[in-house]
Amino acid sequence: MFPRPNSRSLARGLTLGVVAGAAGFGLAGVAAAGGVRAHARAQIVRGTVVHENRRAHSFVVVDARGELYAIHAARRPALASAVTVAIRRLRNGTYALERVRTDASRHSAQVRMRGVVTFVDRRSHSFVLSAPGVSMLVHRGTRRAGIASAAGASPSVGSVDTVSASVDDQGSVAATGVTQTAQATNVNLEGIVLGIDPATNSITISATDNSTTSGSITVSIPSTLSISLFSLGQEVELTAATGAGGTYTLVGSSGDQSQQAAGDQTDQQGVQNDSVDSPDSVQSGDNQSVGDGQSSSDGQSSSDGQSSSDGQSSGDGPVTSQTGTEQSTTSTATVPPTTTPAGGGDN
């Protein structure tokens, strides 16, 4: 007869098993907290750093499939660098950083991103591409980026687009091609609260998450949700329904100025991005959790700690621990795909 294991030995065995599986990626620290951290199922993502938001203490990684991940972290890797990250999903659809490794430092990189166009500025030949936790400015063919402007329509608000672009180490993103794949009914909006109007029960937020453009967006708040949760200067992550003429109606909201805010249920209302199906959700992609002994992005896998970003770089160095503070969803109706060259003329 074998002795019946007690609860302490079972817990110890579970922890050691998870650590052993994670160690193959140089990520043993992800599971070091035992069952609680293992249950969070850290995800391994490889990609390029395309954006940062200092107000939210976050940075954005795009993987080889074009998925955008907004990640809260005490320290942010350099823009345009190729990285491998272990991340944990938070309540509002953004992520908390567990580990990061820089696989290659670069002055610029070519990327492909998927998101929803939530604002268009025809005067500056730019638009805002949004995904859970990020609303970033994208320039359409500029001389500064060395891309000749081409004839064509501007991306439309509410369109779900795949954007080919170059990003440099200063955070400038210049589109080289835009392909519309669908039209969104719900969108993500990340921005700073600029105005609160109880008379119309609406709020105004910056068009970009770090207010890099003078544009703003007004969001109506239905009677089922509360305007009292918003304050001026607050960084927020909103889920909004699109309406005629590019209008927005709030569906759900969360603070997003830190990892704590992103996970604070008392500061959230309505639909949260972790409860809605999304093409940008890590669960729907190829990236695997630490606990299953596999890790991949766009079908690429590695068990020796090596990683790649868009197939361009790899490294086998240790994954750096991230400590301290700091961390949708689009429902779409398919339409026939159309391609818009970047830098199209104004309508």
Let me know whether 256 and 308 are in one domain. Answer: no
Q: Greater confidence, 47 or 290?
A: 47
Is residue 249 in a domain? yes
Q: Three-state SS string across 277-294, please?
A: CCCCCHHHCCCCEHHHCC
Alpha helices in the chain (DSSP H): 7-23, 35-40, 259-262
Distances (CA, A) of 268 to 18, 139, 238, 240, 253: 32, 32, 10, 14, 6
Distances (CA, A) of 188 to 159, 183, 252: 12, 13, 10
User: In the predicted model, is pLDDT for residue 10 greater than 60?
Assistant: no
Percent of the chain predicted with pLDDT > 90: 55
Tokens at residue 80, please?
């345009």
Let me know whether 80 and 117 are in one domain. Answer: no
Estimate to the nearest angstrom the gap between the alpha carbon of 219 and the chain centroid: 21
What is residue 344's predicted lDDT score, i.e. its pLDDT? Answer: 38
Let me know whether 198 and 261 are in one domain. Answer: yes
Let me know whether 202 and 241 are in one domain. Answer: yes
Is residue 2 in a domain? no
How far is 108 from 116, CA to CA, in rounded Å? 23
Is residue 244 in a domain? yes
Let me know whether 83 and 49 are in one domain. Answer: yes
State residue 146 phi and psi, 5-degree precision. Answer: 75, 25
Boundaries of domain holding 206: 186-276
What is residue 327's predicted lDDT score, i.e. its pLDDT? Answer: 32
Is residue 16 in a domain? yes
Let me know whether 42 and 101 are in one domain. Answer: yes
Q: Greater confidence, 2 or 94?
A: 94
Tokens at residue 213, please?
């453009």
Stated length of the chain: 347
Q: The domain spanning residue 71 has which CATH number? A: 2.40.50.320
Is residue 237 in a domain? yes
Distances (CA, A) of 16 to 41, 62, 255, 264, 299: 15, 32, 36, 31, 28
Tokens at residue 318, please?
């240790």
> Binning pLDDT at 50, 70 and 90, where does residue 40 land?
low
DSSP 298: T
Please state, rounded to an integer, the average pLDDT across all residues of the chain.
75
Distances (CA, A) of 237 to 94, 116, 250: 9, 14, 11
How far is 294 from 302, CA to CA, in rounded Å? 7
Name the range with the highest mean pLDDT among 18-32, 146-160, 249-263.
249-263
Average pLDDT rounded to a whole number, residues 215-235: 96
Let me know whether 219 and 282 are in one domain. Answer: no
Question: Dihedral (C-alpha) 49, 94, 203, 185: value to the nearest 10 degrees?
Answer: 90
How far is 54 from 52, CA to CA, in rounded Å? 6
What is residue 16's predicted lDDT score, i.e. its pLDDT? Answer: 38
Number of structural domains found in the chain? 3
Average pLDDT rounded to a whole number, residues 71-84: 97
CB 238 within 8 A of CB 189: yes
What is residue 211's predicted lDDT score, i.e. its pLDDT? Answer: 84
Q: Greater confidence, 335 or 236?
A: 236
What is residue 153's predicted lDDT score, i.e. its pLDDT? Answer: 60
CB 186 within 8 A of CB 251: yes
Let me know whether 37 and 99 are in one domain. Answer: yes
User: In the predicted model, is pLDDT for residue 14 greater than 70?
Assistant: no
What is residue 272's predicted lDDT score, i.e. its pLDDT? Answer: 79
Average pLDDT rounded to a whole number, residues 154-182: 93
User: In the predicted model, is pLDDT for residue 62 greater than 60?
Assistant: yes
- Count CB-CB contacts under 10 A for residue 194: 17
Let me know whether 271 and 216 are in one domain. Answer: yes
User: In the predicted model, is pLDDT for residue 54 greater than 90?
Assistant: yes
User: In the predicted model, is pLDDT for residue 24 greater than 60?
Assistant: no
Average pLDDT rounded to a whole number, residues 286-306: 38
What is residue 213's predicted lDDT score, i.e. its pLDDT? Answer: 80
Q: Which residues contact 244 (CB under 8 A, 6 or more apart)?
A: none
Sort residue 26 into left (φ over 0), alpha (ψ -120 to 50) or beta: left
Q: The domain spanning residue 129 has which CATH number? A: 2.40.50
CB 118 within 8 A of CB 150: no
Is residue 327 in a domain? no
Let me know whether 98 and 122 are in one domain. Answer: no
| pLDDT tens digits, one per residue of 211-224 | 888 899 999 999 99
Q: How far does the chain reach from its first CA to its final CA, in angstroms?
A: 81
Is residue 328 in a domain? no
Let me know whether 129 and 155 are in one domain. Answer: yes
User: In the predicted model, is pLDDT for residue 84 greater than 90?
Assistant: yes
| pLDDT tens digits, one per residue of 309-334 | 343 333 444 454 443 333 333 333 33
| pLDDT tens digits, one per residue of 102-152 | 999 999 999 999 999 999 998 889 999 999 999 999 998 644 434 333 334
Residues in a beta bridge with 70: 60
Average pLDDT rounded to a whole number, residues 244-263: 93
Is residue 124 in a domain? yes
Let me know whether 203 and 238 are in one domain. Answer: yes
